[in-house]
Structure 1
Amino acid sequence: MSGKIKLVSPIDGAVHVERDILSPDQARDAVARARAAQPEWAARPLDERIGLVMAGIDALIAMNDEIVPELARMMGRPVRYGGEMGGVRERADYMAGIATSALAPQIAEDSDAFHRELRREPVGVVFVIAPWNYPYLTAINAILPALMAGNSVVLKHASQTLLAGDRLARAMHQGGVPKDVFQNLILDHATTEALIAERSFGFVNFTGSVGGGQAIERAAAGGFTGTGLELGGKDPGYVAEDADLDAAVDGLMDGAMFNSGQCCCGIERIYVHDSLYDAFVARAADWVRDLRLGDPLDPETTMGPMAHARFARLVRDQIGDAIAAGARPLIDAGGFPADDGGAYLAPQVLVDVTHDMRVMREESFGPVVGIMRVSGDDQAIELMNDSDYGLTASIWTSDAGRAAKIGNRLETGTVFMNRCDYLDPALCWTGVKDTGRGASLSALGFQAVTRPKSFHLKKVTA
């Protein structure tokens, strides 16, 4: 064996579970089994594949009573929020519903002389490297279309949520997906990169850090393996002068603080029109002061610890640097006695911030948000675009036409109006700049895990 991966619970800093890491040869054998099993899986009728995958989803959802406290122990999300299965069901139902049309051949001609059509065929083995912050929702974005399209799937889950990978495999196997078609492997970084470099996969889907995405691109260089990379984010919100103030405060602050700020499309910076700025800031601070930081297994807790003490340390450093540079904190950490200097981190709202500060430029991925005053749309757009990232942007206004015009000028993957921090399975989930590349969900999610194949058949006539 190559050692062990240990999952340290943020609740108490103790090792919650550990798993043996597969050796490189064991990993290669597993991938070879996935490759060997894929053609038979792809040969099954599409409706049959969809049915088996959806039976796996049903099995997963049936585990929810166990999954919710398990997530709290693994990554700190409070049990009061009930897990991720509502979103799992929504995405699974939608992707199953469009699979037939998304994968249907496109007929260019069917005449006495020619039959010409474009088909989508599976790429073979899809490698899914899933993150810990939404360990089920993010994983199924790639797993569902890959399996339905006829690929086999190898899953490598994050070390912070090892048990999520176990449960996904158990559920899919209970549903009837063959064991070699869906495998959950415990891999270290070196073996992961070696497998990619050896062209073991037809497609690699990764959700994680910019550094992780760069490592995957380096490993895949020259091998022509397709990659889908959802990386960092610094998602902005803009509150225009005609916004519903209460709705904007509730929506944006929930987007900033839910899951202790550990959301891929969480709100990390807010720009408010001058006419609403003072009122917004006051209500936002009150909103945050009402949060209850504590044990995520306590149903009264509304904010649990961050997933790891090192993640909280980064956020504390950003806050400290901003305050030293002139930012003003609105939240007294003393109002959150559970803040222990480790994984339990009090939320913070900062004003008098600038884009010279790390907290307004670097990904925080924690319960902190900076708020700036702006004079109007042009200044807001300039500041929203002043980022290395581009996943989502949230516009709060009563005018849909205005939101669309602003959205046309934003460098982002998704434009929201009067909401944030949500993935619509009917729309493509994608990003620009250092947020990465590729597409998941929607019909484009099926295209990511298939390749086009053209048939040009000339009919012989007497």
Structure 2
Amino acid sequence: MTVTYDKLFIDGGWVAPTTDRRIEAINATTEEPLGSVPEASEADVDRAVQAARTAFDESGWATTNPTERAAALNRFADALEKRAELLTRSVSLQNGMPLSLSEQFEGGYAVALLRYYAALATSTENEERRPSPLGFDTLVQRSPIGVVAAIVPWNYPVVLAITKIAPALAAGCAIVLKPSPGTVLDSFILAEAAEEAQIPAGVINWVPGGRELGAYLVSHPGVDKVAFTGSTAAGRLIAENCGRLMRPVTLELGGKSAALILDDADLNKVTEGLYFASLANNGQTCMACTRILAPSSRYDEVVDAISAWMSSLKVGDPLDPSTQVGPLASAEHRNRVEGFIDKGRAEGARLVLGGGRPKDIDRGWFVAPTVFADVDNASTIAQQEIFGPVLSVIKYDGDDEAIKIANDSDYGLGGSVWSNDSERAMSVARRVQTGTIGVNGYVIDLNAPFGGVKASGIGREFGPEAMSSYQQLKSIYLPG
């Protein structure tokens, strides 16, 4: 059975697209069609931005009582929760995400984010009266920044859309979202939930399309802010455009994070925790710790433990609740990951496990869990983001060298430190140049800022900091 949508969700309703171009959704496991949706055109983006502009400027959404905005977000959460099974299965079918992870993130976490920002909208003061050392007061006002252009990737399409929708709407903004053509069916389910929740017309609009459409949206004169999650290469281009336009931008980009296994770590606990830290969504996760830093005194032991754990993972249909590694999102992406594996071999790394496609699976875009040892941190597989189930084990001597190797990267998004001594692990964690890092685990906290340093991005998502990025400040001096 395939699912077909014929209209776009713009200005609070379903409207006919301006062209007959379509985006096909393909099952990552069977390589068979799942359905299709309209591909938006520049004219459709114009309509969507104008709808958002009108909603922000004229509908009263931007100035409505925060309690009313919170109620709208909670209705949206309710409508999304009702569709959780449909939504999570849709994502897993399209990009290969194991259903257990999809249920946790694309279902539960997305709903939790909407409720979190609903509560934050009502508890955040938008005006603060500050005494001046000059003898008078200043009123500092926070107001919504305006119309937001949001571009969302294919790897966590629902939760990454909500990380933009929830704080933007809580702040009083209107938003135009461009989902990736790699995962589009879920965005229409989100739109149906927004319609049921009676989100005011024009406050949320969806325009599915490719890179060219995204570039058009980013540079649109009706946009006040851009929020992007995706590759560092695309983020640089967006940053250039936004810099020229003097347009605020949040960029959550790539990573090549390190898991620092200290010499006193319990390897059983390490391998238990590395599944999410290093292999979540088949390695298709921006903050994945794919560089495994192992002490020379225990190097062979770590390689053996990592390899044994990786070889035990169940590879297969992402809709099977017991599956731990599903297919990659597309044939093109699988080819890219296989190219990195070939590069690892060519540059002298020792292939310990995997390195190809699973022998017992004859269709679907699968790559077997792969482990390289004797990896030089300067090599391609240690420096570039692979975005697949490929781990590189790198040797170090002493905590200082481990930190130096971890920091020897263009990226700085995630990371983890593993030790039986929590204070020692905390000391190491503080010295790693990254936006987020876990101690003996890695769990993203929706109440804390998430984002990167260096080539991993600009700005933060999650927490109060995300809502602040959708607001602008005004100082009203009161010298009288």
- Tell me the TM-score range normalised by the shorter chain: over 0.9
Segments of 4+ moved more than 6 angstroms: none
Question: Does residue 451 of structure 2 align to residue 430 of structure 1?
Answer: yes
Deviation at 1:23, TM superposition (A): 2.6
Pick aligned residue for 2:65 from 45, 55, 61: 45
- Shift of the 234–118 alpha-carbon distance from structure 1 to 2, 3 Å rule, reads same
Gaps of at least 5 residues in structure 1 are: none
Distance 1:252 1:5, change over 3 A: same
Q: How does 1:334-353 map to 2 (within 5 A)?
A: 336-338=358-360, 340=362, 343-353=365-375
**Aligned residue in 2 for 1:229:** 251
Partner Cα separation in structure 2 for residue 412 and residue 403 of structure 1: 15
Is the contact made by 2:349 and 2:374 (CA closer than 8 Å) also made in structure 1? yes
Instruction: Indicate which of 76, 86, 89 corresponds to 1:56.
Output: 76
Listed as ranges, the matches of 1:140-151 within 5 Å are 140-151=162-173
Distance in 2 (CA, whole Å) between partners of 1:336 and 1:75 is 18
Tell me which residue corresponds to 2:260. Answer: 238
What code does the residue aligned with 1:152 have? Answer: A
Identity %: 32
Indicate the SS of the match to 1:219.
helix
SS of 2:142's equivalent? strand
Q: Is the 8 A contact 1:253 1:284 kept in 2?
A: no
- What corresponds to 1:362 in structure 2? 384
Deviation per CA, 1:269-323: give whole Å up to 9, x if none.
1101233333222222111111222222333432110001121112212112212
- Could you tell me how far apart the structure 2 residues matched to 1:65 and 1:21 are? 25
Structure 2: which amino acid aligns with 1:69?
R
2:221 matched to which residue of 1? 199
Among candidates 9, 12, 15, match of residue 33 of structure 2: 15
Q: Name which of 182, 186, 197 aligns with 1:164.
A: 186
**Distance in 2 separating the partners of 1:217 and 1:252:** 33
Aligned in 2, Cα 1:103/1:11: closer, same or farther, shift over 3 Å? farther
* Aligned amino acid, residue 9 of structure 1: N
Instruction: Verify the 8 A CA contact 1:396 1:417 in the aligned structure 2.
Output: yes
1:265-276 to 2 correspondence within 5 Å?
A: 265-276=287-298
Measured in 1, the distance between the counterparts of 2:174 and 2:336 equals 37
Question: Is the CA contact 1:291–1:303 (under 8 Å) kept in the aligned structure 2?
Answer: yes
What is the match of residue 29 of structure 1? 47
Matched, 1:174 2:192: no
Deviates more, 1:11-20 or 1:116-125: 11-20
5 Å matches for 1:395-414? 395-414=417-436
Give the 3 Å change call, closer, same or farther, for CA 245–31 of structure 1 in structure 2.
same
1:319 aligns with 2:337: no
**Counterpart residue type for residue 438 of structure 1:** G
Amino acid at match of 1:50: A
Q: How does 1:300-319 map to 2 (within 5 A)?
A: 300-319=322-341
1:444 Cα deviation (Å)? Answer: 1.0
Q: Check whether the contact 1:37–1:180 (CA below 8 A) recurs between aligned residues.
A: yes
C-alpha separation in 2, matches of 1:82 and 1:412: 26
Question: How far is the alpha carbon of 1:258 from its aligned partner?
Answer: 2.5
- Unaligned ranges ≥5, structure 2: 1-18
2:476 corresponding residue in structure 1: 455
Residues 83-121 of structure 1: CA deviation (Å, up to 9, x unaligned): 2222223333333333334443221149xx965211110
Q: Secondary structure at the match of 2:184?
A: helix
Q: Which moved more, 1:276-285 or 1:148-157?
A: 276-285
- Kindly state the Cα deviation for residue 340 of structure 1 after the two structures are TM-superposed: 4.8
- Matches of 1:376 and 1:133 in 2, distance apart? 36
CA distance in 2, matches of 1:101, 1:65: 31
Displacement after TM superposition at 1:217 (Å): 2.2
Q: String of CA shifts for 1:10-36, please: whole Å, max 9, x gaps.
A: 122233232222332232122111111
Give the letter for the 2:91 counterpart. L
Aligned letter for 1:67? L
What's the C-alpha RMSD, in Å, of the aligned pairs? 2.2
1:443 to 435, 445, 464: 464
Stretch deviating more after TM superposition (177-186 or 93-102): 93-102
Contact 1:310/1:343 (8 A) holds in 2: no
3-state secondary structure, aligned to 1:127: strand
Kindly state the Cα deviation for residue 172 of structure 1 after the two structures are TM-superposed.
2.0
* Contact 1:256/1:368 (<8 A) preserved: no
Structure 2 residue 141 is matched with structure 1 residue 126: no
Equivalent residue in structure 2 for 1:155, among 142, 158, 177: 177
Q: Judging changes above 3 Å, is the alpha-carbon distance between structure 1 residues 416 and 80 closer, same or farther for their aligned structure 2 residues?
A: closer
With over 3 angstroms needed to count, the CA separation of the structure-2 counterparts of 1:23 and 1:316, relative to structure 1, is closer
Distance 1:87 1:319, change over 3 A: same
- The answer to whether the 8 Å contact 2:354/2:369 transfers is no
Q: How far apart, CA to CA, are the structure 1 residues paired with 2:317 and 2:364?
A: 13
Aligned counterparts of 2:459 and 2:124: Cα–Cα separation in 1 = 17
Moved more, 322-331 or 27-36: 322-331
Checking the alignment, whether the CA contact within 8 Å between 1:2 and 1:20 is kept in structure 2 is yes
2:45 maps to a residue whose letter is A
Give yes or no for contact 1:53–1:172 (8 Å, CA) kept in 2. Answer: no
Q: In the alignment, which residue of structure 2 is the partner of 1:95? A: 117
The structure-2 alpha-carbon separation of the partners of 1:338 and 1:53, relative to structure 1 and needing over 3 Å to count, comes to: farther
The answer to whether structure 1 residue 73 and structure 2 residue 93 are counterparts is yes
2:14 matched residue in structure 1: none
Q: CA deviation at 1:124?
A: 0.9
- In the superposition, the TM-score normalised over structure 1's length comes to 0.93
For 1:173, give the aligned amino acid.
Answer: E
CA contact (8 A) 2:56 2:147 kept: yes
Count of aligned residue pairs for this structure pair: 456
Return closer, same or farther for 1:341/1:236 CA change in 2, 3 Å cut-off. farther
- 8 Å CA contact 1:381–1:409 kept in 2: the answer is yes
Structure 1, 181-190 or 409-418: larger mean CA deviation: 181-190
- Normalised to the residue count of structure 2, the TM-score between the two structures is 0.89
**Change over 3 Å in CA distance of 1:224–1:332 after alignment to 2:** closer
Q: What is the Cα deviation at residue 234 of structure 1?
A: 0.3
Give the Cα separation in 2 of the matches to 1:136 and 1:334: 30
Pair 142,254 (structure 1): closer, same or farther in 2 beyond 3 Å:
closer
